[in-house]
Structure 1
C-alpha cells in the first residue's frame, strides 16, 4: 500500500493524526474485532526549514522535511491463543507514553499539562487492565469471544 515518490515511500491510507511535521496513517482495513492493526508515522513534506535537535546555526544548511518514514506500529492481529503474539497491545503502547511523560515530569520542565496527560494514560491503562481481568475471569481472554 505504498508508492515511491522522489525516493521516499508514500503510504496510502487514512491520515489519523497530523501536525506541522508528522503524519500518522492507518494502512490496513479493520479486522474481525473492528480495529485496524498497521500504522506508519512519517514526516510531512514541507518547504519550511526544519532545524535539528542541535539547533542548526544560521549560515548552516537546515534540512527540509520529506516523507521519511520514522516508524511503524503493528498491533496484535487476532487473539493470541488463536494467532500467537504478532504485534503490540494497546497496553504496551500506553506504557511507552506513560514512561515518557514520567520522564518529562522528572526532568527540568515538569508541567500541569504533562501531569494531566499522565493521569489520562494511567486511567486508560487501569480500564484496559480491568477489561483483561474480566475476560480472564470469564475464560475468554485470548479468544474470539465477547
Structure 2
C-alpha cells in the first residue's frame, strides 16, 4: 500500500494490521528501509495493531515522512481502489469499489470536477440495482465504464 493511501485509512479509522505490513513491504521493495520499517515487515497479519502502530510512528520519524493533507490521502486511496477495480473480475465487488470511490469524492473531496464521473457511475449502479424502468445500458456497460474510468485515473498526469 502506498504511504498516502495508508494515511487515508488511518485518518478514516479503517486501518488494519495487514495494511501497515503491506505498506512496509511496498517500501522495502523500492529500497526504502529503516530499523522500524524492517520490524513492521516481519510481523504476522494477526499481530496486535497497537504494537504495530508504535513501530509505524517510529518508522515515520526515521524516514522523515510528513502527514499529507486529506485531499492528497483521499486521491491516493482512490488510486488504490482504482487498482483493485482493474484487477477485479466480480461485478458486485467492482460496483462496491466504485461506490467507495464515489463516497470519497462526495464526502472527502466535495465533488471536484475531475472526479464527477464517479457520481455518474454511482447513479448508473443505483439505477441497475433499484430501478424498475428499462435502461439504455446494462451491467456490462457499467462495468466497462468503471474499468475505463479507473484506468484513466491511474494513467493521468
**What's the TM-score, normalizing by structure 1?**
0.30
- Structure index of larger Rg: 1
**What's the TM-score, normalizing by structure 2?**
0.29
**Which structure: greater strand fraction?**
1
**Which structure: greater helix fraction?**
2
Bigger RCO (CA 8 Å, 6+ sep): 2
